[in-house]
Structure formats: structure tokens, C-alpha cells
Amino acid sequence: MNALAGLFKIKIAAMASLSAATGWLLAGGTAGVALVLPTLATLLLACGSAALNELQEWRLDARMARTRERPIPAGRIPPGAAAGISAALIALGLAGLAVSAGWLAASLGALAVVWYNGVYTPLKRRTPYAAVIGAPVGAIPPAVGWVAAGGHPGAPALHALMLFLFLWQVPHFWLLLLAREGEYRAAGLPSMTGVFSPPRLRRITFSWTLALAAAASAFPLVGIARQPWAYALLLLLTAHQAVRATVLLRAGAEPAPAAMMSAFNRLNVYTLLVLALVALDRGVGTGRF
């Protein structure tokens, strides 16, 4: 089971399914069986896409200390088996979305797979800007949940949530890069630290983090987190995240890997809590839980 969890990058896949569920609730869906089916289909699709990504990159993963213990480079799952598992999960995920949520939701799911595995993954070897180009992938799952619940794809609330998750993707990757820059360089991957000095990249990452905070703070303008208690908690979480992110400005000329990993973990926890808060606000406020 541990090998499969590693193959599926289960934490990232769970984030995708949570954001899809958040989109569903924001669009007016109820928390019941109807929510479970598209959320599970999104999870299967995300797991299949992650497995395909590992299959695409296992030789590269074998060269990096952070990734060499993943199931394929470590020899716990053969590449052929990973290919079969990936194909099965992607097919099940797309079929599940088509049946439970409709063809538009399934098409968005397919777009996410194509963008992640067909655009972002190959570009990682070609350009240091791959994280920015690949960031729209993280914004697609809430759209899947939104249209699955019958929401209009042009709604401002959906676009605000998608923007929030798009903005999260970039500092998420760059903080990891700042913590593991030597490994990326040794593996021969293009790195943003080859474009900007580490202190400048930290300042840019801090700017993206502030943009993320601003996007979350503006949620009530489009009907997200409208209840006073929810918005107060949102502002508290956001202020805490912004203050803690100033470590990116205080670090020395060479960033301490531990400090960058701590900032990376805080950013991910913050994003997870915001999604949970948004879902709880809508569910409690409308009696859908």
C-alpha cells in the first residue's frame, strides 16, 4: 500500500479531489452521494495522472535524493505495471466523471491530464518556467466540481477559486526548488535559480505568496466565505501566512533548506485550510451538510 500511495502522490491527488468537492459545494451541490461520485472520480483521475508522471520521470527521479525512493526508481513497482495502473485509473476516472457529472466535467478532467502529463512534464526538462506554464493544472479540479454540480463555467466565484489555486501552484514549486536546488541542478533540470539569484527568487516567491493572500482576502466580493465567522477566520489564516512568509525576505544569501521546506509545508497547509473553510462556510451557511 505504501508503494501505491507513493505512485499516486496521494497528498497531491487528495488536494485535487478536495478542491473539486469545494467547487461542487460552491456551485450549490449538496454533501451526499451525488458529491461522492465526482469527487472519487477526480481522485482516481489524479492518481492515474500522478502514476503516469512517475512513469515519465522515473529515470530522472533515480538521480535525485528526494525522489529516488519513489516506487518505480526504487524497484518496488515495475514500469510496465505502473503503466497499466495509470491507464486503468485514468480510464476509470474519466468514465466516472462522464457518468456522474457529464461530459463537460469529463472533458475538463481530460484537459488536466493532457496539461500535466503532455505539457508540464516534458517542459520541466526544457525550461525553468515550467512551473508557471503548468500552474493551470491546479486550477482545473474546482471547475470539474463546479460544472458537475450544474454551475455556470463563467461564474466569478469559480474564477476566483481557480485563481487562488493557480497562484498557489507557483510558490509551491519554487519553495521546493529553493530547498532542493542542488538536486535539481545535479539532475540536469533547468532551474529558476539559473535565471534569478536565490535571494531574488525568494523575493519573487514572496510576491506570489502575497498575491495568493490577496486573492483569498477578496473571496467575499464574489460570494465566497460571506459569513462573518468564515471571513474572520480566512483573514486570520491569511495574515498568519503572510507574516510567516517574510522568512523569504529575512534568509541569508543562501537559503537554509530547512527554512524553505518549512515555508513550503506552511503554504500547503494554508491552502488546504482555506479550501476546507470555504467548503464549510458554504455547507453550514446553506444547510447542505
What's the pTM? 0.93
| pLDDT at 132 > cutoff 60 | yes
Instruction: Concatenate the DSSP letters of all residues of 18-82 into one string.
Output: HHHHHHHHHTT--SSHHHHHHHHHHHHHHHHHHHHHHHHHHHHHTTSTTTTTSTTTTTSS-HHHH
| Segment (H or E) for 242 | helix 228-244
Ramachandran bin of 190, using left for φ above 0, alpha for ψ from -120 to 50, beta for the remaining angles: beta
pLDDT digits (tens, 9 = 90+) for 13-55: 999 999 999 999 999 888 788 899 999 999 999 999 999 999 9
List the domains of the chain with CATH numbers.
Answer: 2-286 (1.10.600)
Amino acid occupying residue 80: G
What phi and psi values does residue 218 have, to the nearest 5 degrees? Answer: -90, 0
pLDDT digits (tens, 9 = 90+) for 195-246: 998 889 999 999 999 999 999 999 999 999 989 999 999 999 999 999 999 9
